[in-house]
Structure 1
Amino acid sequence: MSLPIELRSRFFKAYKQSIKAMNFTFYNDLQSLNKSKMLLKETVLNPMEMKQKMFKDLPESKEDLIKHLEDMNKILIQNVAQAKQKSKYKYELKMHDKIELGDNESIKENKGSQYKNKPFKRCCD
């Protein structure tokens, strides 16, 4: 991948941050950690082949791919929590201080907002 110098430094920074985000998020889950690192490596080193195989919405340009990496890092740190099974029906979430928490009131306010002003349609209509 040939990049101009400013994009190259931004790419390596984003790639390094991706690995740190994965290590932070999946620190006790070696299987998920290894799979995510392998997928990152395959996607970054050969993005057009991975686009055809798996990711139809992977960005075309190299700058967009770098932005995609940066956004992925943010999501991994702020929105992904690992769970550990305690018993047959109980799980314990491993939360950390960087996880973005919301309140139930904001969820209730936006409930169904994507369906407002759209006619209701059943499967048999």
Structure 2
Amino acid sequence: MNLPADLSPETATWMRMQMTMAAARAVEPLKAEINQVDDWANGVFVVLRDVLPYLMKTFPELARNVAPHWSAAALDFDRIDVHGHPAKPDEPLEFLEARKMLYRTFALLGVWEAAQQQKPLKSVPRSRRA
């Protein structure tokens, strides 16, 4: 921050302090809003973590279709986070993280392995109504 050269050191220090305090007051509501959005996103993640294993065990085809995409997201996450490669413009690190976490959690729970071993559901022919 550039202040006029003719200010006394005391006045310049006072102005800097005032501007710093004003900036801190302005940022505080933004921090609170960011924390609320973060809590909301964490709640959505918990819902997905709790519901998706049941759905994937019930509908193994869903798991078989999702697994390769989430596996690729986990690998891309590691490519960026662990190996330091640049992120793709349309998939920043944060965009990949939820899929990476769900993929690895479900791998530990055996969801992917169970889906591979489970036979696809056979469609039941619908009876014709008169």
TM more than 0.5 = no
Q: TM-score, normalised by structure 1?
A: 0.28
Asked which structure has the greater CA Rg, the reply is 2
Higher relative contact order (CA 8 A, sep 6+): 2
Bigger fraction of residues in strand: 1
Structure 2 length normalisation: TM-score? 0.27
Higher helix share: 2
